[in-house]
Structure 1
Amino acid sequence: MTESKADLILHPVRLKIIQALIQGRKLTRQQLSALFPDIPQATMYRHLNKLEQAGLIVVVEQRKQRGAKEKWYAIGEHAESVPNEELTAMSAEEHMELFMKFVSGLIGDFGRYVAQDEYDMQRDGISMRQTTLYLSDDEYRELFEEIKASLMRRMDNGPAPDRRRRAFTNIVIPEPKRKQEESP
């Protein structure tokens, strides 16, 4: 059975690879391994191959490096999102399974953070907040675009001595729609 695009993207290792390549970045397996030292080399190769075979990433360049060909990967067209048709066709159970995969990736990231010998959540900027807002659909779209624009301005920041990679995750869950009261 072939995996859905959502299943391919939401695997924790593959999601990290895709996120690293967003915004037109081109990286080698070696550079990806340096970004994610907790991912074993064989695992990185396996997931790069799976993403490449699915067309979610593409080889944009190959260079000869110490006798071997080094591949440079980039994001494939429309790779970072799941088609709406695929999401609409899923059952509630399948949506819940995808959500649990997504959240398990967050749990893994947080587990690696707290597994350090020393850490300071306040200094490191760890934030777990939930804010409830009452917004119309238009107000929500406006807020989402503002947040997206703010993040996009920083997406091209590369590694630097004074920078750490930070996962900024947002999950928006509206309350269930209220059933209209029936007219007498």
Structure 2
Amino acid sequence: MDTLDLLLHPVRLRITHAMSGGRSCSAAELCAALPDVPKTTVYRHVGLLAEGGVLEVADEQRVRGAVERRYRLHRDRMKIEPEAGASMSLDDHRHGFAAAMAALLAEFNAYLDRPGADPFADSVGYRQGTLWLSPDELTEMISEWQHSFVSRATNEPAPGRRPHLVSAIFFPTEDHRDTAGS
């Protein structure tokens, strides 16, 4: 299974989200972090991610006679290369978007189901808006967003820090190629 197939699955997306920020986790800890996903499913998808090189073994220790592995993300395998993205069919994009939205919905529901969830106090946002941008302006905005994101993406867990899931979606809403004459 290639990286594209590995990452374009809702459960595997949730596992990679749970492990982001440099955290290492055992499969049992991932089961606890994803209580709405059957344990056998978590173990199966952890195995697929490890087999595909997206997860690497960070540590192994004996626990009650069994070997417990702690995994971490293999950062170089966590992205879809531009060549692979460019070769994706429209159905591949449809499938990837659906997997990402399913994972996002599952993460949001899991957040709301936690004791003490307070979307207002936690600054939860889910806004949409339309921006009229030229191709150069869109490229500039994406670059600015990426710079802001990348500058914080290497933050590690620390007192006062909580993980936040960030999703950005960019696509044209209508075809307005010739608006000058309108």
TM-score by shorter chain over 0.5: yes
Pair 1:7-2:5 in alignment: yes
2:77 aligns with 79
What is the letter of the counterpart of residue 100 of structure 2? F
Q: Distance in 1 between matches of 2:162 and 2:35?
A: 14
Aligned 8 A contact 1:56 1:79 in 2: yes
- Aligned-residue offset at 1:99: 1.1
Contact 1:18 1:75 in 2 (8 A): yes
Q: Residues 20-169 of structure 1 correspond to what in structure 2 (within 5 A)? A: 20-114=18-112, 120-137=118-135, 139-152=137-150, 154-155=152-153, 156-158=155-157, 165-169=163-167
Identical amino acids, percent of aligned pairs: 31
TM-score, normalised to structure 1's length?
0.74
Check conservation: 1:159, 1:165, Cα contact below 8 A.
Answer: no
TM-score (norm 2): 0.75
**Shift in Å at residue 157 of structure 1?**
4.5
Q: Structure 2 regions of 5+ residues with no counterpart?
A: none
Shift of 1:72: 1.7
Q: Deviations over 1:68-93 (max 9, x none)?
A: 21112122252211122222222212
Structure 1 unaligned regions, length at least 5: none
CA displacement at 1:116 relative to structure 2: 6.4
* Structure 1 pair 117–72 and aligned structure 2 pair: CA distance change class (3 A): closer
Count of residues paired in the alignment:
178
Letter in 2 for 1:108: A
Q: Which moved more, 1:81-90 or 1:146-155?
A: 146-155
Moved more, 82-91 or 44-53: 82-91
CA distance in 1, matches of 2:122, 2:75: 34
Say which is worse superposed, 44-53 or 140-149, in terms of deviation.
140-149
- For the 8 Å contact 2:8–2:95, the answer to whether it is kept is no
What residue identity is the alignment partner of 2:65?
A: G
1:19 aligned to 17, 20, 31, which one? 17
Contact 2:56 2:73 in 1 (8 A): yes
How far the C-alpha of 1:137 sits from its partner, in A, is 4.9
Mapped contact 2:8–2:96 kept (Cα < 8 A): yes
Cα displacement string for residues 111-167 of structure 1 (whole angstroms, at most 9, x for unaligned residues) = 44455688554234332212333445554444434434444455435376x665432
Contact 2:56 / 2:74 at 8 angstroms: preserved in 1?
yes
Question: Partner letter of residue 55 of structure 2?
Answer: I
Aligned equivalents of 2:117 and 2:21: distance in 1?
30
Pairwise CA distance, 1:51: 0.7
Q: Separation in 2 of the partners of 1:17 and 1:116?
A: 18
User: Which fold has the larger relative contact order, with Cα–Cα distance below 8 Å and residues 6 or more apart in sequence?
Assistant: 2
